[in-house]
Chains A and B, each alone.
Chain A
Amino acid sequence: MLRPSDHIDSAHANPGDDVREIRLSLGGWLRWAWRQITSMRTALILLLLLAIAAVPGSIFPQRSSDPNGVTQYFADNPDTAAWLEGFQLFDVYTSVWFSAIYLLLFISLVGCVIPRAKHHWDALRSAPPATPQNLNRLPAHLTARMPGVSPDAAIAAAESVLRRDRYRVRRYDAANRLTVSAERGYMRETGNLVFHVALVGVLIAVGLGGGFGYAGQRVVVEGQAFTNSLIAYDSFSPGRFFSDATLSPFSLRLDKFTTRYEETNVNAVGQPIDYTADVTIEQRGEEPVGDVIKVNEPLNIGGSDVYLLGNGYAPEVTVRDAAGSVIYQEAVPFLPQDRNLTSVGVVKLPDGLKQQVGLIGFFYPTVNEGHAGASFSMYPDLLDPMLTFNVYVGDLGLNDGVPRSVYALDTSKLTKLTGTKTNLPSLELRPGDTAQLPNGLGSVSLETVKRFASLDVHRDPAQGWVLVFAIAAVAGLLTSLFIPRRRVWISVREQADGTVVEYAALARGDDPTLSAALTHIANAHGSNLGLERD
């Protein structure tokens, strides 16, 4: 059967069939289920269900694209969140129900494509079908009288005209008439099959790529380097079949990070114009080479792509104990909080001072003071930088084995010594400044301010295939929608008053230009025989 039974072109099912099959064996049931799932109606309903099922993923934050949003949602609405979690609404696109829909859809698709491919294969190798008895019943039909033209000449001309239009042609002659049957546009069904097979290809390639690939995130401060290995990453998400061996061996150093902000356009002062990361790459056994990573220009290193996804400031902080010896010196990445890069960062000092000390810092690249006395940054570039610290002492909570974020300080077991609601003001530091910590604990200095880049390293071995299948799908779609498949018949009869030629055409699938095409064939046939139109 060419199409599923509920296809608009197919004949109505015979109700008698159902009656006979009322008592079904197991095999019968399976056949029935298979027929249901591969029917066009089921495929259509699954397709629409898929569209509906995708909606919640845009309403609720998803772990895949917005993990912080999920955490926030749990904090804001704990009750609803737990309930939503039960329906996997924070992981919609990997949920059981979403997967069930698209897997069923693809099973339905494969079940539809296989018999159609077989049928098409047969059609490609067979001749056009016999000419129908009554051509005037067909959707497009024309008749012409051609006195003085012999039937043999007329049918020969018909054959050559159709062949020239790249029809596949076959003669079917009977006693009372000579006919040709012709068909074209086999590419329409070929394109249709290619499109659907390519979609399966996309799905498989996406699955394989996700399984064998990986994605790692790493914050690098100017002057720092990291090697492409598991321990180097701040966060790392491997595919199901990932193995360490696929990490291409290279190291990357961030030499310099340059930003440019709009300065002249009053409507956009401070808007970022350009981010450039100058890096040095060293691959195993090769000389180090300099290169550049920009926002829309990732760098491919040995099959992995390195992307520039974020940046910010990393003030270089030195802490000395009461005796003046350095116990801590690091460039600390501060997370940007707004478009003028007011940034927040944390310094944890578990050892080296009399007490455990935690510092919560605010960094303002261009500091300004608001009406209420609170500081803020008024421009993202380093025009007038200032760093402030609130000092906490007590238990940093690092010894109980629970993993802690380096960007957050758990103040539940800490006492605040400086800043609001204390007797002491926050420590204020400009580059080169040193401030004393309270209680004679020691001192803290701001040496310089560096920049950091947050880099993503990705590898997806199948993504080239995803693109290939996607392009194949578009090519298939174009052919299947715009190449008309049609059958044309030309019949020649000899009557008392001369030769009568009938032209008829039948579209297979949507074909808005069927009639025009038939008219064109009839005209070409006339010209071929040397006839003029009235």
Chain B
Amino acid sequence: MTDTLSQFSVLSLYSAMAVYAIAFIVFTFDLARGAGREANAAAASDSIVQSTGEGSTATLTRVRAEAATRSTSRGRLARIAMALTWLGFLFQLVATVLRGVAASRVPWANMYEFAMTGTLIITLVFLIVNLKWDLAFVGAFSTGLVLLLLGLSATRYYVEVVPLPPALQSYWLVIHVFVATLGTGFFALGFALSLTQLLQTRREHRTVDAKPTRLAWMSRLPDSAQLENYAYRLIIIGFIFWTFTLIAGAVWADKAWGRYWGWDTKEVWTFIIWTIYAGYIHARSTRGWRGTRSAVLAMVGFGSVMFNFTVVNIYFKGLHAYSGLN
């Protein structure tokens, strides 16, 4: 039974990857051809609107692009790619749930499972945020990253379903690890937006200087200030989750290892990541650091998250040795 279910899980995961691959291609075409054209038109109207009503009633007009962006329609390619991403997400959801059922526990107890659940959350955050703002231009990054991580874990980190060792038998596994994946999901999207922001800033400067730029296609995306706002709002949510991960991890460590903090390698890196993002949040309100420098910090932060997940898990010695790999 366990074997059958986990085989179906793998099958469903491969289907999800195939669909993500197509979505990735469509997103890329969309980027090349006209992503966010309307979104930017709305963003450009980010100015003070003065409206004077006639007659005896007050006429009030919304001011900022924020609200306007929401109602803009996406291009056809973007719509197709978003639909594909939803489909891939559903396949992956089935894969993840089946894996959990096969193991009779939460599907995030080793590296393969953590990658599966983590990328599921990255995709979910991307999809949910897109219900609010039009960030379809991040789709190529988001599906690309998810594909890469899934491919890596399915081929290199795959392990059969095994029971939980005593150290992992705790409800904190459910809370601590899940919240960490949530934080990772928001940081991933924040990374993509900060990267876009850096490129956009570069294009804007070259445009102001009337120099040629190969980034002309980016004129259709939101301007760098707007991208920075999006990134910031996602990252502060990720930061809250990360703070909670840190505290929940300490509470669990106190139960399992007899101390709440011991500078274990994974603890060290969780702390480093927290500190970098704390720096990012402060940088945004420090003169000379807003904009490019804070965007670089956001990217270094997510780089550290990925480093923590891959290199620290596999090569660094520590108590968090749950990759399931030998």
A residues contacting B by CB (< 8 A) are 3, 6-10, 40-41, 43-44, 47-48, 50-51, 54-55, 57-59, 61-62, 64-66, 69, 92-93, 136, 139-148, 206, 215, 262, 265, 267-268, 271-275, 294-298, 305, 307, 309, 456, 458, 460, 463, 466-467, 470-471, 473-474, 477-478, 481-482, 501, 509-510, 512-516, 518-519, 522-523, 526, 531-534
- B67 in contact (CB, < 8 A): yes
Give the 7 A-B CB pairs with smallest separation, nearest first.
A144-B58, A268-B162, A267-B160, A307-B258, A295-B166, A515-B63, A51-B275
**Separation of A169 and B316 alpha carbons in the complex (Å):** 58
A472 → B minimal CB distance (Å): 11
Q: Which of B48, B59, B251, B289 contacts A44 (CB 8 A)?
A: B289
Given the complex, which residues of B lie within 8 Å of A146, measured CB to CB? 56, 58
What secondary structure prevails in chain B residues at the interface with A? loop
Given the complex, which residues of B lie within 8 Å of A519, measured CB to CB? 60, 62-63
A451 → B minimal CB distance (Å): 15
B94 → A minimal CB distance (Å): 22
- B312 in contact (CB, < 8 A): yes
B312 → A minimal CB distance (Å): 7
Cβ-defined contact, B282 with A262, below 8 A: no
Beta-carbon nearest neighbor of A148 in chain B: B56
Cβ-defined contact, B166 with A145, below 8 A: no
Given contacts A58-B312, A512-B66, contact A474 B247 (CB under 8 A): yes
Cβ-defined contact, A265 with B161, below 8 A: yes
Q: A10-B287, A58-B316 are in contact. List 9 more A-B contacts (CB 8 A).
A: A8-B287, A65-B263, A215-B259, A262-B163, A275-B166, A296-B170, A463-B254, A477-B239, A522-B58
Cβ-defined contact, A267 with B50, below 8 A: no
**Separation of A145 and B54 alpha carbons in the complex (Å):** 7
Q: Which of B83-91, B139-147, B228-236 contacts A (4 or more CB under 8 A)?
A: B228-236
Cβ-defined contact, B58 with A533, below 8 A: yes
Cβ-defined contact, A298 with B243, below 8 A: no
**Separation of A262 and B262 alpha carbons in the complex (Å):** 30
- Of the A-B pairs whose beta carbons lie under 8 Å apart in the complex, a sample of 17, sorted by A's number, is A8-B290, A44-B279, A50-B275, A58-B265, A69-B317, A142-B51, A142-B60, A143-B52, A144-B52, A262-B163, A265-B163, A295-B166, A296-B170, A467-B251, A470-B250, A519-B63, A522-B60
Cβ-defined contact, A478 with B240, below 8 A: yes
Task: For chain B, give the interface size range.
Answer: 35 or more
Beta-carbon nearest neighbor of A521 in chain B: B60
B119 → A minimal CB distance (Å): 23
Cβ-defined contact, A296 with B166, below 8 A: yes
- B129 in contact (CB, < 8 A): no
Cβ-defined contact, A142 with B63, below 8 A: yes
**Separation of A140 and B282 alpha carbons in the complex (Å):** 25
What secondary structure prevails in chain A residues at the interface with B? mixed
Cβ-defined contact, A463 with B233, below 8 A: no
- B167 in contact (CB, < 8 A): yes
Given the complex, which residues of B lie within 8 Å of A296, measured CB to CB? 166-167, 169-170, 172, 255-256
Given the complex, which residues of A lie within 8 Å of B172, measured CB to CB? 296
Given the complex, which residues of A lie within 8 Å of B269, measured CB to CB? 58
B224 → A minimal CB distance (Å): 16
Given contacts A41-B288, A268-B163, A458-B259, contact A531 B67 (CB under 8 A): no
**Separation of A140 and B257 alpha carbons in the complex (Å):** 53
**How does the 8 Å CB contact mask read for B57-98 relative to A, with 1 for contact and 0 for none?**
111111110110000000000000000000000000000000
